[in-house]
Amino acid sequence: MQKFVPSSLPKLAKVQAGSTDIRVYSSANNQSEVSIAINPANLNKLLIGANTDLGQGYYYSTNAGTNWSGGDALPGVGYYSSDPAVAFDASGNDFLN
């Protein structure tokens, strides 16, 4: 059995202390409890889930975060809010919960 040691994982990005927040989706709605995932099959593809004033927000980028698309509420779903969780599997399929 191997022990999980977070400090041994490589860092993909590091934010300097005092850095400002980055708003990936240009909306006036609150975006909190953010979860982000990077596609292991294509590092240019990013997925974010967030709580918003309208429910469950989702945002995605296909160019490593240069541009973002998505929305502050899941399409076809009434008001729904939870702690967002996003992930990609090894094949690059995305999941939002």
For residue 57, give its domain range.
29-96
Tell whether 12 is covered by a domain: no
The answer to the question of residue 4 being in a domain is no
How far CA 46 is from CA of 8, 13, 58, 70, 78, in Å, comes to 23, 13, 11, 12, 25
pLDDT band at 11 (very low <50, low <70, confident <90, very high): low
Q: Is residue 21 part of a domain?
A: no
Q: Does residue 18 form part of some domain?
A: no
Question: Does residue 11 fall inside a structural domain?
Answer: no
Q: Is the pLDDT of residue 79 over 70?
A: no
Enter the tokens of residue 48. 């974010």
* pLDDT (0 to 100) of residue 25: 76
Please, which residues have CB within 8 angstroms of residue 42's CB and are 6 or more apart in sequence? 92
Q: Which one-letter DSSP state was computed for residue 78? A: -
Domain count of the fold of the chain: 1
Asked if the structure places residue 70 within a domain, the reply is yes
**Prediction pTM value:** 0.72
Total Cβ atoms within 10 A of residue 94: 15
**pLDDT tens track for 12-65:** 566 677 767 677 777 777 877 888 999 999 999 999 998 888 788 889 999 988
Whether residue 49 is contained in a domain is answered as yes
What's the confidence (pLDDT) of residue 87?
93
**What residue ranges in 4-75 does DSSP mark as E strands?**
31-38, 46-52, 55-61, 69-71
| Domain assignment of residue 53, yes or no | yes
